Amino acid sequence: MNIHGVIFDLKKYAIHDGPGIRTTLFFKGCPLNCRWCHNPESRCSNFEINHSTSAKKDSGSISSGFDKAVGCIVTIDAVMKEFMKDEIFYDQSGGGVTFSGGEPMMQAEFLSVLLEKCRNLGIHTAVDTSGYAPIEDYQRIYNLVDLFLYDLKIIDDDSHIKYTGVSNKLIHSNLAELASAGDKAIIRIPLIPEITDTDENLEATVNFLRPFDSIRHICLLPYNAFGEDKIKRYSLDDRPYHWQTYDDETISLIKDKLSSSGYNVTIGN
pTM equals 0.89
pLDDT of 232: 60
Residues 6+ away with beta carbon under 8 Å from 193: 223, 243, 244, 246
β-bridge partners, 219: 188, 266
Looking at 52-61, 102-111, 163-172, which range is the least confident one? Answer: 52-61
Peptide bond connecting 5 to the previous residue in cis, omega within 30 degrees of 0: no
How many residues belong to the chain?
269
Backbone dihedral angles phi then psi of residue 156, each to the nearest 5 degrees: -65, 125
Q: Is the pLDDT of residue 60 over 90?
A: no
Residue 39 to residue 230: CA distance in whole angstroms = 8
Residue 2 to residue 139: CA distance in whole angstroms = 24
Domains of the chain: 4-267 (3.20.20.70)
Residues 6+ away with beta carbon under 8 Å from 143: none
Residue 153 to residue 202: CA distance in whole angstroms = 10
pLDDT of 216: 97
Residue 186 to residue 261: CA distance in whole angstroms = 16
- Outline where the chain has alpha helix (H): 76-84, 87-93, 108-121, 135-141, 157-164, 169-181, 199-209, 230-233, 248-259
pLDDT-based confidence at 58, cuts 50/70/90?
A: very low
pLDDT of 67: 46
pLDDT in tens, 206-242: 999 999 999 999 999 998 766 566 656 555 555 555 6
**Inter-axis angle of helices 248-259 and 199-209, to 10 degrees?**
30
Residue 17 to residue 96: CA distance in whole angstroms = 10
Looking at 30-39, 177-186, 247-256, which range is the least confident one? Answer: 30-39
pLDDT of 103: 97
Instruction: Give 49 or 209, the one with higher predicted confidence.
Output: 209
* b/e code 69-96 from CB counts within 10 Å (16+ = b): ebbbebebeebbeebeebeebbeeeebb
Average pLDDT of the residues of the chain: 88
Looking at 29-33, 60-64, 120-124, 233-237, which range is the least confident one? Answer: 60-64
pLDDT in tens, 91-103: 999 999 999 999 9
pLDDT of 244: 79
Residue 146 to residue 21: CA distance in whole angstroms = 15
Backbone dihedral angles phi then psi of residue 257, each to the nearest 5 degrees: -65, -45
Looking at 10-14, 42-46, 49-53, which range is the least confident one? Answer: 49-53
pLDDT of 245: 83
pLDDT of 267: 95
**Mean pLDDT confidence for 112-135:** 98
**Inter-axis angle of helices 76-84 and 108-121, to 10 degrees?**
40
pLDDT of 240: 59
